[in-house]
């Protein structure tokens, strides 16, 4: 990923992945690029961490994934930036936050580990006191016939937050104010990320 030094995000990238949750799992099989949108659970370990997830067994992408290097892209908020918002107008651009995770994917075949992953998934995303796996008709083993669980052991994490850091503080504040005036969900999310960095 092309990342000028102004835009490299190191400290907050893991938190960003945890908050974004959904990533695009990219792999190459016989020269063909495959992509699946999935939720991921990040877990720290003694190395760079790992990502846990599962996909539908009917999705053929998994059949060529075991032991293979993959790329997972986590796309955060993004917004158009008008040059008219700068003190000295320049050119239009786009602000965004993204993380690229590379690692080796391994299919989980152990029943106990598969059960553990599914319990972690529900516990991570389901409101407390909400739906539980015990309510599955047919039980967990029946569900596992229709999905494939896997873990990605992370080799590298790259974060890029392009948030006008190469502009003056005055320009950055102007961009934030204009994004907030527009008021869309993406614009407000980018404005919030920018405010955090301007004030820090």
In a domain, 192, yes or no: no
Q: Does some domain include residue 179?
A: no
pLDDT in tens, 27-39: 999 899 999 999 9
Spell 39-68 as b/e; 16+ CB within 10 A means b. Answer: ebbbeeeeeebbbbbbbeeeeebbeebeee
158 belongs to a structural domain: yes
* pLDDT surpassing 80 at residue 185: yes
Assign residue 146 the CATH number of its domain. Answer: 2.30.110.10
> Does residue 177 sit within a domain?
no
Residues 75/79/83/86 CA torsion (nearest 10 deg) = -90
Q: Is it the case that residue 50 has pLDDT exceeding 90?
A: yes
Residue 172 is assigned to a structural domain of this protein:
no
Q: Count up the domains in the chain and report the number.
A: 1
Whether this prediction's pTM lies above 0.85 is answered by yes
pLDDT in tens, 132-168: 777 777 778 888 889 999 999 999 999 999 999 999 9
To the nearest whole number, what is the mean pLDDT of the chain? Answer: 92
Q: Which domain holds residue 56?
A: 5-166
Is residue 109 in a domain? yes
């Amino acid at each position: 990923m092309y990342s000028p030094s102004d835009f490299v995000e190191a400290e907050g990238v893991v938190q960003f992945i945890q908050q974004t949750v959904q990533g695009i799992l990219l792999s190459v099989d016989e020269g063909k690029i495959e992509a699946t949108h999935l939720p991921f659970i990040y877990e720290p370990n003694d190395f760079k961490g790992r990502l846990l997830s599962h996909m539908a067994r009917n999705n053929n992408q998994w059949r060529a994934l075991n032991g293979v290097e993959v790329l997972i892209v986590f796309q955060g908020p993004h917004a158009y930036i008008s040059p008219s918002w700068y003190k000295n107008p320049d050119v239009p651009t786009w602000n965004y936050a993204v993380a690229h995770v590379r690692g080796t994917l391994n299919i989980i075949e152990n029943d106990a580990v598969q059960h553990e992953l599914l319990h972690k998934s529900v516990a991570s995303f389901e409101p407390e006191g909400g739906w539980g796996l015990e309510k599955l008709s047919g039980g967990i083993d029946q569900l596992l016939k229709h999905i494939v669980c896997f873990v990605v052991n992370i080799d590298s994490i790259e974060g890029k937050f392009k948030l006008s850091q190469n502009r003056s503080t005055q320009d950055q504040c102007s961009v934030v104010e204009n994004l907030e005036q527009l008021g869309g969900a993406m614009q407000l999310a980018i404005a919030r990320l920018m405010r955090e960095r301007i004030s820090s």
